[in-house]
Amino acid sequence: MTGRYGDLEKRLKPSLVRRMEPLSEHSTFRIGGPAALMCLPERLEEVAIILKWATEEAVSWIALGNGSNIVFPDAGFSGIIVKIRGNMIAPKTLWDVRQTDERIHAGAGVSLARLARFSASAGLSGVEFATGIPGVVGGSIHGNAGAHGSQIGDRIEYIEGVRAPDQVVRIPAGHAGFGYRKTEIDTQTVITGAMFVLTPDRPEAIRDRIRAYTEYRKSTQPSADQSAGCIFKNPPGDSAGRLIDRAGCKGLCVGGAFVSDQHANFIVNRGGGTSADVRTLIETIRRRVLHDSGIELETEVRLLETEAP
Ligand SMILES: Cc1cc2nc3c(=O)[nH]c(=O)nc-3n(C[C@H](O)[C@H](O)[C@H](O)COP(=O)(O)OP(=O)(O)OC[C@H]3O[C@@H](n4cnc5c(N)ncnc54)[C@H](O)[C@@H]3O)c2cc1C
């Protein structure tokens, strides 16, 4: 417990802090070098301790959920990764889920799959679209994850968080700036939970929809492969996958990264792929699509820099 982070390590349980943690193990892409420090807070108070310390010491940090929408740098990250993700429902933690009437409160670390299952059992509909999106509540709110014509922001009443250094905030959905795969929640805020407002329905009907969405996903996406989902946002009125396919990019590869044959908007790490491979492939696709259709694609995934933000 020495060096730059020794003081922070003393303020948290040892199990919540890891030095030089390989980020490839925290990304669905399986890509990325080590983080100087990874903190795995279980409670809101621990998030506040981390952000206060980082602010006072001018150490950069980013929040992380399940790492399914981010490309980590090969050289790793020089600051703190604040990872919020739990594997089980646990009361009073950042992965607690509770129902009150037609509302469900979920901690930021709850997976969308668990949230969908929980809401089905409670006979509450509105988040089953999220089945198969491999994110957690915090990361998915940050990017307003969506599928099948719905997005997570549609069902949120308010978001809870900690704004650096240690201010506990509650953001009404109307102030979160939900848009297509984005919010305007400021970058100094770590989302810690949210209240969802849902619609009563029969559990069996909700489960039927979950099954149908799962089947559809299996038949249209390389879900079992190492990827970060869709790389580019859909441009207005069009589909990025269609444009990439039309530009002849399916099957294109750089090093260990290639453009999926099944879904052109997915880049897959077929083993040994690096962040540099993915970035080169992204630029190649962007150039080809611009040349072919005159449309400049915008990335949906976050491309993290070693020294960011
Ligand atoms: C196979 C596959 C299928 C996918 N399908 C879909 C889909 O249908 N629809 C869709 O929208 N996405 C999809 N994705 C992308 C991804 O799963 C979603 O964007 C998901 O919501 C990201 O959640 P996460 O927890 O993994 O976020 P992360 O990747 O961990 O983080 C994403 C961003 O959110 C920020 N962040 C994370 N946690 C917090 C927090 N607590 N507070 C503040 N900021 C935070 C991070 O800094 C980062 O900028 C898919 C990905 C894969 C691999």
Does residue 113 fall inside a structural domain? Answer: yes
Assess whether 77 and 151 both reside in one domain: no
Note the pLDDT of residue 4. Answer: 81
Q: For residue 286, give its domain range.
A: 222-303
Assess whether 299 and 231 both reside in one domain: yes
Domain end (from 83, 112, 136): 83
Could you say which DSSP state residue 69 is in?
A: S
Q: Which residues contact 154 (CB under 8 A, 6 or more apart)?
A: 126
The CATH number given to whatever domain includes residue 288 is 3.90.78.10
pLDDT-derived band at 223, boundaries 50, 70, 90? confident
Does residue 1 fall inside a structural domain? Answer: no
Note the pLDDT of residue 3. Answer: 72
User: pLDDT exceeding 70 applies to what percent of the chain?
Assistant: 99
Assess whether 116 and 77 both reside in one domain: no
Ligand 1 pocket: which of 25, 43, 64, 87 to mutate (most atoms <8 Å of CB)? 64
Q: Catalogue the long-range contacts made by 291-297 (C-beta closer than 8 Å, 24 or more residues apart).
A: 291/247, 292/243, 292/246, 292/247, 292/248, 293/243, 293/246, 293/247, 295/235, 295/238, 295/243, 297/232, 297/233, 297/235, 297/240, 297/243, 297/244
Residue bearing the CA closest to ligand 1, atom 23: 135
pLDDT, tens only, 234-290: 999 999 999 999 999 999 999 999 999 999 999 999 999 999 999 999 999 999 999
SS3 (DSSP) at 18 = strand
pLDDT-derived band at 224, boundaries 50, 70, 90? confident
Amino acid, single-letter form, for residue 8: L
The two tokens of residue 300 are: 């949906």
- Taking the centre of ligand 1 as the mean of its atom positions, its distance from the CA of residue 300, in whole angstroms, is 10
Q: Are the beta carbons of 275 and 283 closer than 8 angstroms?
A: no
Assess whether 29 and 107 both reside in one domain: no
Distance CA 222, CA 263 (A): 7
- Taking the centre of ligand 1 as the mean of its atom positions, its distance from the CA of residue 68, in whole angstroms, is 5
Q: Are the beta carbons of 288 and 249 closer than 8 angstroms?
A: yes
- Taking the centre of ligand 1 as the mean of its atom positions, its distance from the CA of residue 42, in whole angstroms, is 19
Which sequence positions are flagged as catalytic?
181, 230, 300
Listing DSSP states for 262-287 in one string gives S-TTEEEE-SS--HHHHHHHHHHHHH
Does residue 216 fall inside a structural domain? Answer: no
- Taking the centre of ligand 1 as the mean of its atom positions, its distance from the CA of residue 10, in whole angstroms, is 31
pLDDT higher than 70, residue 291: yes
Q: Are the beta carbons of 43 and 55 closer than 8 angstroms?
A: no
pLDDT higher than 60, residue 1: no
The two tokens of residue 95 are: 């992965």
Alpha-carbon 209 to chain mean position:
23
The CATH number given to whatever domain includes residue 164 is 3.30.465.10
The region of weakest confidence among 13-17, 44-48, 147-151, 243-247 is 13-17
Note the pLDDT of residue 256. Answer: 97
SS3 (DSSP) at 78 = strand
Assess whether 125 and 190 both reside in one domain: yes
Residue bearing the CA closest to ligand 1, atom 10: 145
Distance CA 135, CA 147 (A): 13
Q: For all residues of the chain together, what is the average pLDDT?
A: 96
Nearest-CA neighbor of 282 among 239, 231, 242, 221? 231
Distance CA 32, CA 10 (A): 27
pTM above 0.95, yes or no: yes
pLDDT-derived band at 44, boundaries 50, 70, 90? very high
Buried/exposed code over 276-293 (b: 16+ C-beta within 10 A; e: otherwise): ebbbebbebbbebbeeeb
Q: Which atom of ligand 1 is nearest to the CA of 62?
A: 47
Residue bearing the CA closest to ligand 1, atom 6: 133
Distance CA 294, CA 297 (A): 10
Ligand 1 site, CB within 6 A: 28, 62-70, 84, 108, 133-136, 138-140, 142-143, 145-147, 190-191, 221, 223, 227-229, 302
pLDDT-derived band at 308, boundaries 50, 70, 90? low
- Taking the centre of ligand 1 as the mean of its atom positions, its distance from the CA of residue 271, in whole angstroms, is 22
Assess whether 123 and 194 both reside in one domain: yes
